[in-house]
Amino acid sequence: MRVVSLVPSLTEAVAVSAPGRLVGVTDWCTHPADLGGAVRIGGTKNPDVRAIVGLRPDLVIANEEENRAPDLAELRAAGVEVLVTEVRTLPQAWTELDRVLVDALGLRRPAWLSRAEAAWDGPAAAGGPPVRAFVPVWRRPWMVLGRDTFAGDLLARLGVRNVYAGHAERYPRVPAEELAASGCELVVLPDEPYRFTEEDGPEAFPGIRAALVSGRHLTWYGPSLEEAPRVLAQALAAARR
């Protein structure tokens, strides 16, 4: 089965579970390091539809948030089968990964997927005492996690109370001055989609502890979920010492 993945986390899930199936991936697909002979077909928001059709895929896997509906419609119009996932909570991730890997690709359920579920049910995912926080995902302008996001669901399971979780928008724009005056104990800064670092991000919020976390472990739904509760919990704990 020839597969094109338009989602970095699904690329990793397929590559680890069924090596050799991927014939096309995006420029943002970085894991695993060796993707064999898979052709790069552009970004998640601007894929080269003609190149994808030319790869003669049996299936293109996409995501309703990461990919644009017009691109997916163009692929379908060209006769390509497209499977679109929706992942806004951890339980949805398990369901959609089963749908892609088991139902669509006909694989046995990967062992890593069962281990990841167990990891999120285990002590590593217990989290620490609840902490009020906000979670920027972009700068210039500042944007934060709002309602109904996968990353927000993971953090909530680890004890992070996102003060913007009830916002009407999923990724609201909030001025830095408002964030700094939010009364939060913690700011959680992932390294993707915007690459926050020790030198770029924490200085905007003096007096608020900053947790620099792995964006792959916070936002990807794939093999990284097995390590995510431990990796994220350690980063959060370190920021609160």
Q: What is the pLDDT of residue 49?
A: 96
Q: What is the pLDDT of residue 33?
A: 87
**What is the C-alpha R_g of the chain?**
19
Digit-by-digit pLDDT tens for the chain (241 residues) are 999 999 999 999 999 999 899 999 999 999 998 887 899 999 999 999 999 999 999 999 999 999 999 999 999 999 999 999 999 999 999 999 999 999 999 999 999 999 999 999 977 666 678 899 999 999 999 999 999 999 999 999 999 999 999 999 999 999 999 999 999 999 999 999 999 999 999 999 999 999 999 999 999 999 999 999 999 999 999 887 7
**CA proximity to 65, closest of 127, 159, 145:** 145
Neighbours of 230 (CB within 10 A): 15
Question: Which residues are within 8 A (CB) of 50 and not within 5 positions of it... i.e. 6 or more apart?
Answer: none
Q: Looking at this protein, which amino acid is placed at residue 73?
A: A
In this structure, whether the domain defined by 3-86 belongs to CATH 3.90.1150.10 is answered with no
In the 3-class helix/strand/coil scheme, how is 104-149 assigned residue by residue? HCCCCCCHHHHHHHHHHHCHHHCCCCCEEEECEEECCCCEECCCCC
Q: Do domains 3-86 and 121-239 have the same CATH topology?
A: yes
In the 3-class helix/strand/coil scheme, how is 44-105 assigned residue by residue? CCCECHHHHHHCCCCEEEEECCCCCHHHHHHHHHCCCCEEEECCCCHHHHHHHHHHHHHHHC
Distance CA 67, CA 82 (A): 12
End-to-end CA distance of the chain: 50
Question: Can you identify the CATH homologous superfamily of domain 121-239?
Answer: Nitrogenase molybdenum iron protein domain (3.40.50.1980)
β-pairing, 143-144 with 136-138? antiparallel
Distance CA 239, CA 136 (A): 16
Domain extents in the chain: 3-86, 121-239
